[in-house]
Amino acid sequence: MPEHMPPGTLLILGALLVPLLRGHLRSAWMLALPLVSFAHLLSLGHGSYGEIQLFDYHLTLARIDKLSLVWGYIFHLAAFLCALYSVHVKDPIQHVAGFIYAGSAIAGAFAGDLITLFVCWELTAVSSVFLIWARHTDRSYKAGMRYLVIQVGSGVILLAGVLIHYGDTGSLAFVHLGDLSFTDNLGPTLIFIAFGIKCAFPFLHNWLQDAYPEATATGTVFLSAFTTKLSVYALARGFAGTDILIPIGAVMMAFPVFFAVIENDLRKVLAYSLNNQLGFMVVGVGVGTTMAINGAASHAFAHILYKALLFMSMGAILHRVGTTKASELGMLYRSMPWTTFFCVIGALSISAFPLFSGFVTKSMTLTAVANEGWDLTWFVMIFASAGVLHHSGIKIPFYGFFGHHDSGIRCKEAPLNMLLAMGITAFLCVGIGVFPAPLYSILPYPVEFEPYTASHVVTQLQLLVFALLAFAVLARRHWETPEVPCTNLDSDVLYRKWIPALIRTFNGIAGPARDDFIAGGKRLAANCIGYAKSYHGPTGVFARTWLTSTGVLLIVTLLSAYLLFVYRGSF
């Protein structure tokens, strides 16, 4: 096995053989590929590999150190779990796309120069779009096209920044890239924007909620693991300690909460939740201390697992029932008890309950933020944690498997390979929460942090108990209403509806285009002012759902605010 071969290459090459195999041989090959690729990674020591001269550019195809290894380990683990989860799928295109996608993400995490990173960046975009198109619906085709334009556009901006940076410095090394400035440091600034698009920064995020819910049941699990986490790694490598990341991350944590609490499609709820969790990592990278970087890296590791587990459970519902709309589900726990159990473990993990993985990683970032005096950001993180408990900790398992009514749907339990993948992932979520030392040992810097202190446990339990109590009381008083079908308007309405309408107007089709534009405006206005309208009818149900969810978050935030003052000195 050549030493100069970058990690992840075996996954890419091995994917090309998948269509040539059939039956159990294909399944065995798919499960073996991530293991062989991981063995290749373990055979390489720290250092640089594959140094080549291409034209005038000196490239380093792979650079292995403790930071890149965290992503290398979890990406390989995610590739194996995704392969196991999707082994029943007969479509070879999905398998080929999934492995090339995973392999290019792994290669990108070990890229030692910016040109290699760009190649991997674009390869992840081109390969992953087939996981969306494989759904074979009109919606998935259109969402995939929008996704591809945005992802490839991010790569074009990245390449422009790389070339400008090379012209200014003569270096392509993928290291810390310096301060941001459109006048004095344009190259790194463009690179930062490219990273931000792939990381789903505010107003650059809509591709995530647009595309992920339209992918196949197994494709969304792949998508949740690699693209955005590769961008978090890129930010940690190139822009650690950049202050602007702290307010960006704070906004990322907060705004998805308000969309997730009213969203009817549970996979889209998880897409908003993914955006929320990315905010915690971005804040950690922005703070930039050793504890904050450790927190961001460990949170990325744990998040890939528990988010994959939640997407797996929703994928199992989609596979058996054909929908993940909360308004159409109810009492599925009777038909899918194991999937329900694994989903609850994922919900407890993302909610950061003690003894689950989210607690031992999220608390590290919270402590790092508090230690550096970012009190307002710390408060936003508390608020966002309450939101996570609602839309992922309660809403996902409740509406997915219990609900306010019996939908009458009776189906088979998820296929055995799906259950095995969910079971392994659930075991890891609990294992990391109970024994965090193995995870801490692979982090980029020595860990001087103990998650299970009285202040950490009491702070988190009070937050969680307050939130659960608030929702229990409101549900008992019938303020927590069933989910209803609705259109959740986000800022993507600008380029999905209004801009096309304007283009049609300028092309001379003024009447219909104007009607589309006005109709879009009316829908947006209805979304904004409908919350204050009567509590009768569909609009009232929608308004009550939003007011209840937002009100509960406000109550939880106020009840937990004093923690900032009670335990501030204990961090």
Whole-number pLDDT of residue 387? 82
Residue 316 makes CB contacts below 8 A (sequence gap 6+) with 217, 336, 339, 414, 418, 422
Task: Indicate whether 414 belongs to any domain.
Answer: no
The pLDDT of residue 531 is 43
- Per the structure, the count of domains in the chain is 2
Phi then psi for residue 53, to 5 deg, are -110, 115
Query: What are the structure tokens assigned to 224, written together?
Result: 């949740």
HEC-encoded secondary structure of 277-292: HHHHHHHHHHHCCHHH
Residue 202: strand, helix, or coil: coil
- By residue range, what is the domain housing residue 506? 469-570
Q: What does the DSSP 8-state code read for residue 477? A: T
Q: CA–CA separation, 235 vs 229, rounded Å?
A: 10
- pLDDT tens, 463-487? 888 777 766 766 555 444 556 666 6
In 3D, which of 346, 433, 351 has the Cα closest to residue 384? 351
With contact defined as beta carbons under 8 Å apart, do 335 and 412 qualify?
yes
**Distance, CA of 348 to CA of 343 (rounded, Å):** 9
User: Model pTM?
Assistant: 0.87
Which of residues 201, 235, 269 is at a domain's end? 235
- Write out residues in the chain with pLDDT < 70, as ranges: 1-4, 470-471, 473-487, 504-571
Q: What is the pLDDT of residue 532?
A: 40
- ∠ Cα 516 538 323 (to 5°): 80
- Under 8 Å between Cβ of 539 and 530: yes
92: amino acid identity, one letter: P
Instruction: Please say which residue of 192, 211, 235 terminates a domain.
Output: 235
Tell me the three state secondary structure of residue 173.
Answer: strand
Return the closest-CA partner of residue 303 out of 461, 524, 70: 70
Nearest in space to 30 (alpha carbons), one of 78, 95, 93, 75: 95
pLDDT number for residue 288: 92
Query: Which SS3 state, helix, strand or coil, does residue 52 take?
Result: strand
- For residue 183, what pLDDT is reported? 82
The residue out of 211, 235, 259 marking a domain boundary is 235
**pLDDT for residue 261:** 80
